[in-house]
Amino acid sequence: MTASRSSPEGEIIPPLGAPVPVPDYAPAGIEAQGETRSRPARQSRGADLLGSPATYLLVGINCAVFLWMLHSGVSFDSTTDLVRFGATSTSLMQNHGEWYRLVTAIFVHGGWIHLATNMWCLWNLGMLGEPLLGPFGLVAVYVLTGAAGNLLSMAWNVMRGYDEVGVGASGAVFGIAGVLIVLLSNRKLPIPWEELRRLRRSVIQFAILNLIIGGATLFTRDFIRIDNGAHLGGFLSGLALGVPLVPRMTSGRERYLGRQKVTFAVAALLLSLFGYWIANIPPIR
């Protein structure tokens, strides 16, 4: 490697407005026989402490890791400290096999503002996405798209010969946005089509705006560094994950969960193969 640089993923702008209640994709107890009934939309999802357990879990883990870092006296300006807590490091992953960093890095943040903006976006998108994906699906999308974003960023760094350090949940947040854009295109959902279009349009605007902001920082990297590779990789992988899920969304809980498991297993395999390819790329000098 020819350079060592720190590249936290940076802050992303939260979606506008409060979380919108969405009916569950298939209520508990419905067998996988093509039924499309749904629970009534929750009017106050914030008051339902059991309504979005995966969203609460993911936000809680991110906040707990940040508090652990504070308690340990971490300097957020120190790449050494960030790496110690699980940040991605191109050289450590490619040359020393520390691939676990693809996942640990999506729970590590580089400061209060970085954490707060990412968690606000995760909260909003998680509340919207969890009824459509279920708790298992939301966690799987978060981890897989976050890892995919970090892999794409790593591939770019390897080809440039840079040893960069990256942290943040924003790649996974973009992944959730990507899968939502696809899932909200399903006209069979028990939601009026105009409402689906409005929700999808809001998520698209969120993704485009933040991708543009990230791209603009390419010209200000001495002051603001955003890992555009992680954002783009997370977003594209989220779009890809959504495509095979749409046909089974209203075919009953069991069939939908079965399709999710197959989709996520195939995605994990493809990411492993992509990682193997990256590990064998000779750095461009």
Question: Which residues are tagged catalytic?
Answer: 170, 231
Q: How far apart are the first and last CA of the chain?
A: 8
Neighbours of 91 (CB within 10 A): 17
**Residue pair 180/200 in contact by the 8 Å Cβ criterion:** yes
Q: Give me the phi and psi of 241, to 5 degrees please.
A: -65, -30
**By C-alpha distance, which of 219, 222, 178, 168 is closest to 200?**
178
- Residue indicated by tokens 């008051």: 47
Q: Give me the phi and psi of 234, to 5 degrees please.
A: -65, -45
Give the burial class of 258: count Cβ atoms within 10 A of its Cβ; 0-12 exposed, 13-18 middle, 19 or more buried.
middle
Q: What is the rounded distance in angstroms from the CA atom of residue 215 to the CA atom of residue 198? A: 26
What does the block give as tokens for 103?
């996942």
> Hey, what amino acid is at 110?
G
Q: Give me the phi and psi of 4, to 5 degrees please.
A: -125, 115
DSSP codes of every residue in 123-178: HHHHHHHHHHHHHHHHHHHHHHHHHHHHHHHHHHHHHHTEEEEE--SHHHHHHHHH
* Contact partners, residue 191, CB within 8 Å, separation at least 6: 22, 23
